[in-house]
Amino acid sequence: MQMIHSVKEMNKTIRQMKSSGKTIGFVPTMGFLHEGHQSLISQAKEMCDIVVLSIFVNPTQFGPNEDYLTYPRDIKRDKMIAEEEGVDIIFNPDADEMYPLGESMLVKVNDRVDVLCGRSRPGHFDGVATILIKLFNIIMPDKVFFGLKDAQQVAVVDSIIKNFHYPIQLIPCETKREEDGLAKSSRNVRLSADERQEAALLNKGLQEGLLLINKGERSVSRIKKCVTLFLETHLRLGKIDYVEVLSYPELQSATSITERFIIACAVQYKEARLIDNIVADLDPDLKGEQKQYVAHIDEK
């Protein structure tokens, strides 16, 4: 496994591999790897000749009062996990390498960002889009792998690829969960024991909404009310940031569910903000029932 820190060396290495016909699978991360990341690596290995894993805590996607300085980091542990999973290259630049002119130029994202996490984190997805465009230009992947736990990020990546005409296939991957249903996240380590036990209820609340849809409910307001009531009733330590039901990946609001949709929530704990979601399709062949969507975004 190679460990590369410079843009110049990374770009040179990738060009050599692509010239020999190798397909490149790319897994962008901010490190502190967990089983969710490992699942992305595994899928990349199945589908591509070379797997590149980036580890970079991107400063431009953190707000002034967010956790950039305290975001969990452990590059030694990450390197060991990556090697065990069969990663071919780790790209681990520093901030000066990725932003040689500072923040003199950032991408502005106008669509799919004024809802969910984007509503309360202005500029967050501008930073996400900026760093991903840089990484796509450096690594030139054939396929890029993202976890659906952050479904809004997947929707933004889908928009980036289409808007900038990247010849990249987006592979969204199913959310990996603990046994009690909590979505795996690097931030889970910041939960107290009591918060950790309660946090599993986020997924249970979303499932209540899905159950209502399975029974034939299509009203967005009633589905949101169902999920919100469950969380308000059961959460003692966490504060609800939002509960939303939107089209996916467009992330548009509507009064009724008619096609692919997302039920999403965010809850703030003392030292960690957790997000979770369910993305699913309405299937007319199932006579009003639904089937869970976990595999892909159709190209349009």
- To the question of whether residue 33 is assigned a binding role by annotation, the answer is yes
Question: Choosing from 5, 37, 165, 234, which is the catalytic residue?
Answer: 37
State the pLDDT at residue 70.
87
List CB contacts of 282: < 8 A, sequence separation 6 or more. 257, 258, 259, 260, 261, 288, 290
- To the question of whether residue 143 is assigned a binding role by annotation, the answer is no
Single out the residue of 189, 123, 130, 124 nearest to residue 150, CA to CA: 124
- Identify each DSSP E strand in the chain by its residue range: 2-4, 24-29, 50-55, 89-91, 143-147, 169-173, 239-247, 261-268, 273-282, 290-292
Report in angstroms the alpha-carbon separations of 268 from 117, 229, 238.
Answer: 12, 17, 5
In tens, the pLDDT along 198-223 reads 999 999 999 999 999 999 999 999 99
List CB contacts of 193: < 8 A, sequence separation 6 or more. none
180: pLDDT strictly greater than 80: yes
- To the question of whether residue 148 is assigned a binding role by annotation, the answer is yes
In tens, the pLDDT along 15-41 reads 999 999 999 999 999 999 999 899 999
- To the question of whether residue 32 is assigned a binding role by annotation, the answer is yes
Domains and CATH numbers, the chain: 2-173 (3.40.50.620), 186-292 (3.30.1300.10)
In tens, the pLDDT along 38-97 reads 999 999 999 999 999 999 999 999 988 888 888 889 999 999 999 999 999 999 999 999
% of the chain with per-residue pLDDT over 70: 94
148: pLDDT strictly greater than 60: yes
Report in angstroms the alpha-carbon separations of 216 from 130, 223, 270.
Answer: 41, 11, 37
Confidence of residue 290 (pLDDT cuts 50, 70, 90): very low
Confidence of residue 282 (pLDDT cuts 50, 70, 90): confident
Single out the residue of 154, 189, 110, 126 nearest to residue 264, CA to CA: 154
Annotated catalytic residue 37: yes
In tens, the pLDDT along 99-121 reads 999 999 999 999 999 999 999 88
- To the question of whether residue 5 is assigned a binding role by annotation, the answer is no
